[in-house]
Chain A
Amino acid sequence: MPEYMNRFNIIRHIRSLKRPATPNAEWLFDDRKKLIDFMRMHPAMVHSDVIRKSRRSPGLFRAGGIAALALVLTTTSVAFAAQNALPGDSLFAVKKIMERAALAAPLSADQRSAIGLSFAERRIDELSSLKERKGELTQEVVEKNMLAYRDLVELASRAAQEASVKDKEGALALMLNVEREVGQHKNKMKKIDEKMADRFDEKDAPLLREIENSATDFEIDLGIISSASVRNVRTKGAEERIRGRINRSEQELEHMAEFDGEALVDDLISLNEARIQTNEKKMKEAFETVKKLEYRLDERLKKNKKIKEKAQDQNNDLRDADKKSDRVVEPPADGIEEQIGVSVPIGVQGIEAESHQEGPGGGGADSRSEED
């Protein structure tokens, strides 16, 4: 978004165009030399009267001249009469000369600013008086006075800018003074505007608009009347913006903390629920596994019991047969193991071992066969 351009900014930008249009010093020197050579080759056939310098003379001389003239004028009744001259009066030119002389004199920044503002106020008062006297204001007079007013306010604010190099606080006070004065001038302009609105019809609207426009312009100028005040406003604005950001950040942080706290609790609940669910599931699985193992163990124990019973029965049968034939027959222990045909789970081995040991005469028969 490009910045709003007021008259002050526009003139500043146009003036900045002067920078690239500055000729090279060396070229300027060489060109001057060429010109001298050319003038020697083509000497003037005339007296120097052929060239009359512009009326403009060096600043100090002009200022001095005007100041001297003003001094003479102020001591006379003409000067006194000129004080109240209005645009279009024959003495108005004298009034302007006196003003220029006052501004051309060596003054301090605050003096220059104060004088500039008082002269600016005069331009507004002149419009008011002129309207009272003549009943109407011409477009030309309004435009000229407004332009002169702006130049004087610009001069006053520039004086403050110049002062800001040495004394920033003093310059700020001057700027505030400029702002206050311009505010008062604006009120005066509004009063003129109101009077005109009462007295004139719509045909005078362009004039009214001119003053309204000027009033609006000055409202804008108030904020940006000089770089010093702009910087001040900007700094204040930046501070406020930063303060606002900090406040917003703090609020956001608080909100985040609240939000995070709630979220954290939710997460913890979910986590615990998940853990519980996992544990329950694992426990269920483990329980089922244990159940399965218990079942399997039970089955095997039953099977083993049956086998052992069968083996015992066989042994008994063999013993009975031996008793009959007086022969000792070894129990088919290995054969029983081979008949089970599965690995024995942990915990069951002991039982099996016990069952082997418990075998009536089985263990003794084994040990005996090994010893044999």
Chain B
Amino acid sequence: MQANNNKIKQRKQNKNMPAPQEMFLQAYDEYAKKIYAYVYYRVSSVEDAQDITSQAFLRAWEYIARGDEPVIKKIGPFLYTVAKNLVIDHYRTQKRTIDLEDVVNNSAVSELPDIERLDIVRDTKRVMHAMELLSEDEKEVLQLRYISEYTTEEIAGVLGKKKNHIYILIFRATKKLKKILNA
């Protein structure tokens, strides 16, 4: 119910917006969750993830509003790049502490019955540990594809690679994960 009200309010706000703002808000609606998911697994803190996601959109708008910068070809990859740079800045200032236990326990699975939850927690932790052993590119591709749900085309734009390369990267990353997990 709350979500529906929010959507109605958002539509009203959009109507009063000039064209670039409206487009940017549409981009916010489409990408905020994806950017948040990407950032969350990079900083592993709800507060930091919220802060960085928020900052990413503000910075992106600043860039657009200046008007003296080159045209943004694709907003999705652009937002992702801004968020990625902010995450790198965050690493520089703060020590990276990812508590896998917290990441899993804070999830919706905590509401499941004990036996089921423990199974999911165990398997998820296994996959997360295994993902840590992948190269940065492979990890990033899997996160973007399956957690942030970017399309392969978008990922190609984000990482500056060809779409075919992304396909192969995903295939190799899952194959590598399989090898690690079944070793």
A interface with B by C-beta (< 8 Å): 2-7, 9-11, 13-29, 31-32, 34-36, 38-39, 42-56, 140, 143-144, 146-147
Does B106 lie within 8 Å of A43, measured CB to CB?
no
Does B75 contact A51, Cβ atoms closer than 8 Å?
Answer: yes
B147 interface hit (Cβ, 8 Å): yes
**Residues in B lying within 8 Å of A, measured CB to CB:** 2-3, 6, 10, 13, 17-29, 32-33, 36-37, 40-41, 46, 49-50, 53-54, 57-58, 61-62, 64-67, 71-77, 103-104, 106-109, 120, 122-124, 126-128, 131, 142-143, 146-149, 151, 153-154, 157, 164, 167-168, 170-172, 174-175, 177-178, 181-182
Q: How far in angstroms is the closest Cβ of chain A from B23?
A: 5
Give the distance in Å from the alpha carbon of A21 to the alpha carbon of B49 in the complex: 9
Q: Are B33 and A23 interface neighbours, CB within 8 A?
A: yes
Residues of B within 8 A of A44 (CB): 18, 20-21, 61, 64-65, 67
Minimum CB distance partner of B29 in chain A:
A32
Q: List 24 A-B contacts (CB under 8 A).
A: A5-B126, A7-B178, A10-B178, A13-B127, A14-B146, A14-B147, A15-B147, A16-B120, A20-B103, A20-B107, A22-B33, A22-B37, A25-B3, A36-B25, A38-B58, A44-B20, A44-B61, A45-B67, A48-B19, A51-B23, A51-B72, A54-B157, A55-B153, A144-B171
Structural contact, A31 and B53, CB atoms closer than 8 A: yes
Q: Which residue of B lies closest to A46 (CB)?
A: B67
Chain B nearest CB, measured from A302 CB (Å): 93
Say whether B25 contacts A32, CB under 8 Å.
yes
Contact A56 B151, CB 8 Å, known A29-B6, A35-B61, A140-B168: yes
**Residue with the highest number of chain B CB atoms closer than 10 Å, among A2, A18, A31:** A18
Of B53, B64, B74, the contact of A23 (CB 8 Å cutoff):
B53
What's the nearest-Cβ distance from chain B to residue A321, in Å? Answer: 117
Please judge, given known A-B contacts A27-B50, A45-B66, A140-B168, whether A53 and B153 are in contact too, CB under 8 Å. Answer: no
Complex CA–CA separation, A16 to B131 (angstroms): 14
CB nearest neighbor in B for A16: B124
Q: Is the CB of A38 within 8 A of B61?
A: yes
In-complex Cβ contact of B164 among A45, A56, A140 (8 A): A140
Contact status of A55 and B147, CB under 8 A, knowing A3-B123, A19-B107, A31-B54: no
Q: Give the chain B neighbours of A49 by CB distance below 8 A.
A: 71
B73 touching A21 by the CB < 8 A rule? no
Chain A residues whose CB sits within 8 angstroms of the CB of B28 once the complex forms: 32, 35
A5–B2 CA distance with the chains assembled, in angstroms? 39
Given contacts A13-B123, A45-B66, contact A39 B21 (CB under 8 A): yes
* A147–B167 touching, CB < 8 Å: yes
Determine how close the nearest CB of chain B comes to the CB of A96; give it in whole angstroms.
Answer: 12
